[in-house]
Amino acid sequence: MPNTFELIASVTVPSGGQAAIDFTSIPNTYTDLCLQLSLRNSRSGQVIQEGLITFNGSTSGYSERILRGSGSAAISSSGSGANFSLNGFPAGSSTASTFGSANLYIPNYAGSSNKSASAEFITENNATEAYAYMNALLWSNTAAITSISISAGATYTWVQHSTAYLYGVKNA
Amino acid sequence: MPAGSTYTPIATTTLGSAQSQVDFSSITASYTDLVLVMNTKGSTTNYPFLQLNGATGTSYSTTTLTGSGTTATSVRQTNTANPYLSSDAANTTDFVFNAILHFQNYSNTTTFKTVLIRANSASTGTGATVLLYRSTAAIDTITLKLNTGTYAIGSTFTLYGIASA
């Protein structure tokens, strides 16, 4: 049987943190991409903080629809702009040693149509404020995705022990 | 997500012409679970629904948690012949729609079958749906239909098998 779910690259954030996690030179030999994240933001005084995702270094064409549950209510919102805002991941005021998990699936990442993606992610926290998210993502750009950046935003960093794994999925 | 050498493509389709439905038939029973990934556009704004083993009767039900971008709701379908992947995520006239469908234990002949669905359209909504097919038959055919119109040229559908060993 062919192995069609392959690790392309991974990052484990070292001591001192890292402002962004970047995957570059992504080959076009797969059909889909799957990104698995375990992240915690350094921002102090905040329970959650967004992660900003961009493709190919582009700062335009991103839009999303968001469904968020807080444990007591569900809301939906939308956004567009210079990146995908996955808001959020645990930050400085969240329970220590708690990291947020995210799964992004990007079908036809090397195709010639606009790029849609699916995302689920969660923040957990041994306190009232915690969330679960589902996002529909669209990058209105026909270029093949060759790089992915996951930024902690502004002057913040992903803390030590944060991880990111990028997998390629082949349909043949 | 599944990993390793057990994530195996069974069949894939890229539409060379517009189609009102896409079929995966003669699905082997040799896997434990199935995953179907679709990335599509429509001839008009339409809504995909699922048909299993060609069953056209009202043997399906769904529960959906969905967000339109302004409103979060939960929707139920019972005794329906047209179990929709989502009530908000529409297959619009650009490549904005994607869905990932998980069929657990699809080939057993003892239990009714459930399908876990994530459907996305950044233009209209996102959400998750659980679908029940009230049949103990092994799933050997999966059909993706539409309430109206067609899937456009270039739409892609891939079915993967996941083996537990």
Contact across the interface for B98 and A107, Cβ inside 8 Å: yes
Identity of residue B29: A
Chain A interface includes B118 (CB < 8 A): yes
Q: Which CATH number fits domain A5-169: 2.40.50, 2.60.40, 1.10.3470, 2.60.120?
A: 2.60.120
Task: State how far residue B142 is from chain A, nearest Cα, in angstroms.
Answer: 17
CA-closest candidate to residue A156, choices A15, A32, A41: A41
Q: Give strand pairing partners of B131.
A: B62, B115
Within 10 A of A89 (CB to CB), how many other CB atoms are there? 29
What does the pLDDT average to over A118-143? 95
Q: Which of residues 8-47 of B touch A (CB under 8 A)?
A: 8-9, 12, 37-39, 41
Task: Tell me what percent of the residues of chain A surpass a pLDDT of 70.
Answer: 98
B4-162 has which fold?
Answer: Jelly Rolls (2.60.120)
Q: Which residues contact B148 (CB under 8 A, 6 or more apart)?
A: B44, B46
Residue B3 or A143, more confident: A143
Chain A interface includes B98 (CB < 8 A): yes
Summarised one tens digit per residue, pLDDT across range A25-48 is: 999 999 999 999 999 999 999 999
Summarised one tens digit per residue, pLDDT across range A86-122 is: 988 999 999 999 999 999 999 999 999 999 999 999 9
Instruction: Look at residue A3 in the predicted model and tell me its pLDDT.
Output: 63
pTM of the model: 0.95
Residue owning tokens 């029940």: B132
Task: State how far residue B140 is from chain A, nearest Cα, in angstroms.
Answer: 19
Which of B31, B40, B98 should be substituted to probe chain A, the one whose Cβ sees the most A Cβ atoms within 10 Å? B98
Write down the mean pLDDT value for chain A.
Answer: 95
Residue owning tokens 């905040």: A46
**Local structure of residue A110 (DSSP, 8 states):** T
pLDDT over 50 (residue A79): yes
Given the cut 0.90, state whether the ipTM is greater than it.
Answer: yes
Contact residues on chain B for A69, CB-CB shorter than 8 A:
65, 72
Instruction: Look at residue B2 in the predicted model and tell me its pLDDT.
Output: 43
Instruction: Look at residue B164 in the predicted model and tell me its pLDDT.
Output: 82
Residue B139: strand, helix, or coil: coil
Q: What is the residue extent of each domain of chain B?
A: 4-162
pLDDT over 90 (residue A154): no
Instruction: Look at residue B35 in the predicted model and tell me its pLDDT.
Output: 97
Task: Provide the residue-wise pLDDT of chain B in tens; the chain has 165 residues.
Answer: 444 457 899 999 999 999 999 999 999 999 999 999 999 999 999 999 999 999 999 999 999 999 999 999 999 999 999 999 999 999 999 999 999 999 999 999 999 999 999 999 999 999 999 999 999 999 999 999 999 999 999 999 999 999 987
Instruction: State the distance between the two ends of chain B, measured CA to CA, in whole angstroms.
Output: 16
Instruction: Look at residue A172 in the predicted model and tell me its pLDDT.
Output: 86
